[in-house]
Structure 1
Amino acid sequence: MNIFKRLLKIGQAEIHALVDKMENPIHLIEKGIEEMKEQLSELTEAYISNRAQLIRSENLAKNKLADAGTYEEKALLLLQKAQKEEIEAKKADQLALEALSIKKKLTEEAAEISTESIVYTDKINLINNKIDVLKFNISKWEKELATLKAKQRINHASEFANKQMANIDNNSTIELLEKMKSKIEQQEAYNDAFEEHTQQKAEQEIDYLLKRADTPKDELEELKRKLNNT
Structure 2
Amino acid sequence: MNLFKRLFKFGSAEAHAAIDKMEDPIKMSEQAIRDLKGDLDNSLQSLAEVKVIAIRSRRETEQAGAEADDYKHKAMRLLQRASSGELEQEEADRLASRALEQQTQAQSNAERARGERDKYDRMAADLEYRIQDLRSQITQWENELKTLKARAKVSSATKKINRQMAQIDSSSTIATLEKMRTRVEEEEALAESYGDMAKPTHSLDDEIDQALGSSGGSASLDALKQEMGLNGDGNRSDKA
* TM-score, L = length of structure 2: 0.66
Match of 2:124 in 1: 124
Name the structure where helix makes up a greater proportion of residues: 1
Gaps of 5+ in 2: 184-240
What percentage of aligned pairs have identical amino acids? 26
User: Using CA pairs below 8 Å that are at least 6 residues apart, which structure has the higher relative contact order?
Assistant: 1
* TM-score, L = length of structure 1: 0.68
Match of 1:5 among 2, 5, 16: 2
Asked whether the 8 Å contact 1:68–1:106 carries over to 2, the reply is yes
Distance in 1 (CA, whole Å) between partners of 2:74 and 2:179 is: 121
Which string of whole-angstrom CA distances, capped at 9 and with x for unpartnered residues, describes residues 82-138 of structure 1?
Answer: 111111111111111111111100000111111222321232233223212211220
Q: Compared with structure 1, are the counterparts of its residues 18 and 56 closer, same or farther at alpha carbon in structure 2 (3 Å cutoff)?
A: same
Answering whether residue 152 of structure 2 is matched by residue 152 of structure 1, we say yes
Match of 1:46 in 2: 46
Q: Compared with structure 1, are the counterparts of its residues 18 and 29 closer, same or farther at alpha carbon in structure 2 (3 Å cutoff)?
A: farther
Q: Residue type matched to 1:141 in 2?
A: W
Q: Residue type matched to 2:36 in 1?
A: M
Moved segments of 4+, more than 3 Å: 12-20, 162-167, 173-176, 179-186
Distance in 1 (CA, whole Å) between partners of 2:180 and 2:43 is: 77
CA drift of 1:39 comes to: 0.8
Distance in 2 (CA, whole Å) between partners of 1:85 and 1:122 is: 52
Greater alpha carbon shift after TM alignment, 69-78 vs 110-119 = 110-119
Q: Compared with structure 1, are the counterparts of its residues 20 and 87 closer, same or farther at alpha carbon in structure 2 (3 Å cutoff)?
A: closer
Match of 2:134 in 1: 134
Match of 1:162 in 2: 162
CA RMSD of aligned residues (A): 2.9
Q: How many residues align?
A: 180
Match of 1:177 among 174, 177, 180: 174
Q: Compared with structure 1, are the counterparts of its residues 7 and 100 closer, same or farther at alpha carbon in structure 2 (3 Å cutoff)?
A: same
* 3-state secondary structure, aligned to 2:23: coil
CA drift of 1:38 comes to: 0.8
Q: Residue type matched to 2:140 in 1?
A: K
Distance in 2 (CA, whole Å) between partners of 1:14 and 1:122 is: 35
Distance in 2 (CA, whole Å) between partners of 1:180 and 1:92 is: 123
Asked whether the 8 Å contact 2:10–2:16 carries over to 1, the reply is no
Greater alpha carbon shift after TM alignment, 92-101 vs 118-127 = 118-127
Q: Compared with structure 1, are the counterparts of its residues 148 and 33 closer, same or farther at alpha carbon in structure 2 (3 Å cutoff)?
A: same
Q: Compared with structure 1, are the counterparts of its residues 29 and 178 closer, same or farther at alpha carbon in structure 2 (3 Å cutoff)?
A: same
Gaps of 5+ in 1: 187-230
Match of 1:88 in 2: 88
Which string of whole-angstrom CA distances, capped at 9 and with x for unpartnered residues, describes residues 53-90 of structure 1?
Answer: 00110111111101110111011111111111111111
CA drift of 1:185 comes to: 9.1
1:51-90 matches, cutoff 5 A: 51-90=51-90
